[in-house]
């Protein structure tokens, strides 16, 4: 059985091809899909009832994909927030181990579709990733903080403090900080030892140790 994982380079080549016939299936939560997703990806996170019916064979995988062509056509590429933990060959899984991605991957292949999952290359090879922007203090920092919040379940304050300890001159603009606050709420995260007033967010300036309240700066 061939390897089921594909790289981002493969995906880029497929999307650049004029004859490409690929469906990209995002198996993450709706909140994560809405905040960021691969262009043209379909959202296919399934509720528990539909997932159980799919596993029992009461539903076909293709019936759950909007605008999906017949099983004999095209290629499907699936991804979620933890594809790095998938083996290169998907074997028999217990029901507890079967994520939406694994279930869809197995069902699509059984239905005759050529299906793969997108490999998290950096994590699977245990290597780092360079995140950069023009100045390296705002946009790239925002992306890095958001990644830590999602991947490690860190609150905004904890993720921000972690990044600042590694790079002391970080300074995301106020709009980005507001977006990170919204992202924190969508993830249901909070600092367990945070004694600050409820509903207020604070961050520090890279040029001083002063603490700024985000909400009070909305009008500036």
Q: List the chain pLDDT tens, one digit each, 220 residues.
A: 357 888 888 888 888 887 767 888 888 888 888 877 888 888 888 888 888 888 888 888 888 876 655 444 568 888 887 665 555 444 444 444 567 888 888 888 888 888 888 876 555 566 677 888 888 899 999 999 998 888 788 899 999 999 999 899 999 998 999 999 988 888 887 655 554 444 454 555 444 455 545 444 343 3
* pLDDT for residue 96: 46
- Inter-residue contact 170 to 52 (CB < 8 Å): no
* pLDDT for residue 124: 57
- Inter-residue contact 61 to 25 (CB < 8 Å): no
In angstroms, the Cα distances linking 118 to 27, 84, 103, 139, 195 are 11, 9, 15, 25, 41
Q: Where in the chain is the domain with CATH 3.40.250.10?
A: 5-124
Phi, psi of 212 (to 5 degrees): -110, 140
Task: Spot the catalytic one: 5, 113, 127, 133.
Answer: 133
Q: Where in the chain is the domain with CATH 3.90.190.10?
A: 139-217
Query: By C-alpha distance, which of 82, 79, 107 is closest to 93?
Result: 107
Q: What is the pTM of this model?
A: 0.55
Distance, in Å, from the CA atom of 126 to the CA atom of 96, rounded to the nearest integer, reads 26
Class of 139-217 per CATH? alpha beta
- Inter-residue contact 141 to 147 (CB < 8 Å): no
Active site residue 133: yes
Class of 5-124 per CATH? alpha beta
């Amino acid at each position: 059985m061939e390897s089921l994982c594909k790289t981002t380079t493969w995906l880029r080549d497929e999307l650049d091809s004029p004859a490409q016939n690929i469906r990209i299936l995002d198996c993450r939560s709706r909140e994560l899909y809405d905040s960021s997703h691969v262009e043209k990806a379909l959202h296919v996170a399934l509720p528990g009832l539909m997932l159980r019916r799919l596993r029992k064979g009461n539903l076909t995988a293709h019936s759950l994909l909007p605008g999906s062509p017949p099983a004999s056509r095209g290629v499907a590429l699936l991804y979620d927030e933890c594809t790095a933990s998938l083996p290169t060959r998907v074997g028999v899984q217990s029901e507890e181990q079967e994520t939406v991605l694994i279930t869809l991957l197995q069902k699509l292949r059984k239905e005759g579709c050529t299906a793969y999952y997108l490999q998290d290359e950096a994590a699977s090879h245990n290597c780092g990733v360079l995140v950069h922007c023009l100045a390296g203090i705002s946009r790239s920092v925002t992306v890095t903080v958001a990644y830590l919040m999602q991947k490690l379940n860190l609150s905004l304050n904890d993720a921000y403090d972690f990044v600042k300890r590694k790079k002391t001159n970080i300074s995301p603009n106020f709009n980005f900080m507001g977006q990170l606050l919204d992202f924190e709420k969508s993830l249901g995260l909070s600092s367990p030892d945070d004694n600050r007033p409820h509903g207020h967010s604070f961050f520090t300036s890279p040029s001083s140790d002063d603490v700024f309240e985000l909400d009070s700066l909305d009008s500036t």
